[in-house]
Structure 1
Amino acid sequence: MTRPTTRIDAKFAELAAAGKKAFVTYVMAGDPDYDTSLEIVKGLPGAGVDVIELGLPFTDPMADGPTIQLAGQRALEAGMTLERTLQMVRDFRAGDSTTPIVLMGYYNPIYARGVDRFLAEAKDAGIDGLIVVDLPPEEDSELCLPAQAAGLNFIRLATPTTDDARLPRVMQNTSGFVYYVSITGITGAAEAEASDVGPEVARIKAATDLPVIVGFGIKTPERAQTIAAISDGAVVGSAIVAEIGAGKPVSEVLAFVKSLADGAHAG
């Protein structure tokens, strides 16, 4: 089956043609409140962000460290819901029709809404891809395959513990890009080391034609540069979410994002 080209596909093709690495950011939708969060998200492309991962707040985020857990709590306490997250994407799309948005979260809120309804609403709102961390390849019929049929990329995580026997299964129905989790454990923990990540990226690239983007443990422009240099790009989440959690003004948050983007693009 031929899949339609998504904004994610188009962005990576554009970056490859320019010989550039991708800079991807994660922020929690609705953190610390709807209006501030929307202002930050709207400012990300201008700060050099190529792909936006938008976190869907959830009460039991098992893969996330304290920084992102607290962001989710702040967002939920401020009244953020799946409905309002979709509205945030619509509000963003009113001024930006090209920057890819990946919704990242857990299956429970999607399941509760109903997969068919959710996919139709997500596509209509302007979401381009999904990362759902608690759905393994064995459950592809639940969401992955319906999402692809609806024209959304389904992006899979590979980790240091994804061995050669497991890797083909993980890659099987993945599209858009592969998110390589550079460390074992939760978000915001240890720092990613290029010497550890490089061989793993090469191993994954031997198994797929998709771009391989590295996340977890990237906190500085220098680290973003070294990781982007041995992959197709870098993801930063916790370090940015920590700035938001510290109550920094939007302008300071975006200046920090730009420093990271400059680092990744120099990779």
Structure 2
Amino acid sequence: MEKQTGVGGEKKKAVNRTATVGLVFVFILYMFPFCMVLINSLKQKRDIIKNPFSWLFTIKGLSFYNFEKAFRQMDFLNAFKNSFLITASATLLVTILASMLAYYIVRNNNIISRITFVLMVASMIIPFQAIMIPLVSIYGGKLSVLNHRVTLIFMHTGFSMAMSVFMFHGFIRGNVPLALEEAAHIDGCTHRQTFFMIVFPLLKPIISTMVILNSLAFWNDFLLPSLVLSDKKLLTLPLSTYSFYGTYSADYGTIMAGLLLCVIPVLILYILLQKQIVSGVVAGAVK
């Protein structure tokens, strides 16, 4: 019996070691592009073109000039302000509207609610690329409402509603007891008070998850803002990096530095809210 236990323990250790090696390999493979961006952002253009895979200690001319140039050329502070306003506003609207609509669908099991939910779920199948040209044609040519932050916020909110409602719907149906709402109604709460005072606080796990997913999607989005915004004063951070690409050439060092400047705010946010982000994702997955 002791021998069998030892053999089983050795097999388990071997499996754990193999899994660890595999995870390390995947981590290195995943982080390699980011490391190359970081390294090349500190090189001069000639060094990047000559050998983009060379390490920092094998070259000369290491400097932070690319970051200074990228900061000025991107108009970083203005682009950051635009990205922050658009991301925060769209995330807030999606969270409130999607949770309210999902709550109504769950608690009102009628034909209108069922049709609405089915149509919203079905809309997730339609790729954005299939409707982007008619979308720009209608909003740009007919309504003339492009080049406005409000327009982009409206579109972000609309395109994210279906998935958000779907997620909130499943959470409310399985994790929010109806007895709490009935007790609130007996105590004299209106439907609005019941939702915002009783139901909404119970949605914290799924709200954390959806806020993370939606905010990252809005912050990193390039395609939709590129169709809506063309005024340099309204460009978001991903769009502002496009100014480094010329007709016949590109300043690769400045491009790498600009990409890192776009990532830095997200990294800082993650460091500050690491515990909340991890707990929100785990709680949302478990629920």
Quick check: which has more Rg, 1 or 2? 2
Q: Which has the higher helix share?
A: 2
Say which structure is richer in strand. 1
TM norm. shorter chain > 0.5: no
TM-score by length of 1: 0.28
